[in-house]
Amino acid sequence: MAADRQSPPSVYHTVPLPDSQLDFCGQPYSVSVLKVGYSLPQTDGTFRADGTISLITGPKVVLVDTGGPWDRDLLLLTLSRRGLSLGSVDWVVGTHGHSDHIGNINLFPAAALIVGYDVSQGDTYRSNGLARGHPFSLDEHVTVIPTPGHSGQDVSVQVKGTSAGTVLVSGDLFECCSDENTWRDLSMNVAVQEVSRQEALRTSDVIIPGHGLPFKVVSSCTFTELEKPLT
């Protein structure tokens, strides 16, 4: 399973994974979806929405997105069931500053925090290159990547070396597996987001989107691999 393809084909396909496949084990890092986000139009013109919450465990513990404010108790319970204290979370990343993604960042006062392009620890903000398009590496396996377009200041978290290959926790860069008819309506800059999406597809084997189940990325030349189970 080869991400960062050297000779990219022009077309990538996104393929749903089974609903039950929410964990991507690896060494040294594993990635788990704690809550699958959703976006559901209602008959009265409103829509119900929540952002996907993901957890990266290994030498460091990284929580990617914290859901909406209403997810507070769910988040506490889910982490507790995994044997994790709030203090054991080293990094909290808010992929962008929308309320359904950054609702619970105050549960982790000891963690280093990234929201969009801002990197902070307590009220101390560190200079970084995210706004200039530079990745911000937490270590050699986990990297925060600027992927602008949806809100203007968006990041994704790339985890290399899982058994499923390179996993990208993308926030709302992707809404869900089949979002071709929806993502543009939610984008602040469609052209910029399209570039971010194509780069994400080129360099990822699995993408965990902001409002849906994880999906697999295959290129046209490997499309026959579709039937292969993830190992």
CA 15 from centre of chain: 17
Q: How far is the CB of 49 from a second copy (least distance, A)?
A: 6
Structure tokens at 66: 């914290």
- Which region, judged by CB under 8 A, interacts with a second copy, from 11-19, 102-110, 134-142, 219-227? 102-110
For a second copy, the binding residues in 131-160 under the rule CB under 8 A are 151-153
Task: Establish if 118 lies at the interface with a second copy (CB under 8 A).
Answer: yes
Strands in the chain per DSSP E: 12-16, 23-24, 30-35, 38-41, 47-50, 53-57, 62-64, 91-94, 112-115, 118-121, 124-126, 136-137, 142-146, 155-162, 165-171, 206-209, 215-219
Task: Establish if 97 lies at the interface with a second copy (CB under 8 A).
Answer: yes
Task: Establish if 115 lies at the interface with a second copy (CB under 8 A).
Answer: yes
**Site map (CB under 8 A) of a second copy, residues 45-64, x = contact:** xxxxxx--------------
Query: How is 131-159 classified by DSSP, letter by letter?
Result: GGT--EESSSSEEEEE--SSSSS-EEEEE
Choose between 55 and 115: whose C-beta lies nearer to a second copy.
115
Please check whether residue 173 is in contact with residue 200, taking contact to mean a CB–CB distance below 8 angstroms. yes
Long-range contacts formed by 121-129: CB under 8 A, 24+ apart? none
Task: Establish if 108 lies at the interface with a second copy (CB under 8 A).
Answer: yes
CA dist., res. 64 & res. 170, Å (int)? 9
Among 20, 43, 123, 140, binds a second copy (CB under 8 A): 123
Among 15, 188, 192, 230, binds a second copy (CB under 8 A): 188
Choose between 30 and 95: whose C-beta lies nearer to a second copy.
95
Number of residues that bind a second copy (CB under 8 A): 40
Q: Which amino acid is at 140?
A: E
Binding site for a second copy (CB under 8 A): 42, 45-50, 68-70, 72, 94, 96-100, 102-109, 113, 115-116, 118, 120, 122-127, 151-153, 188
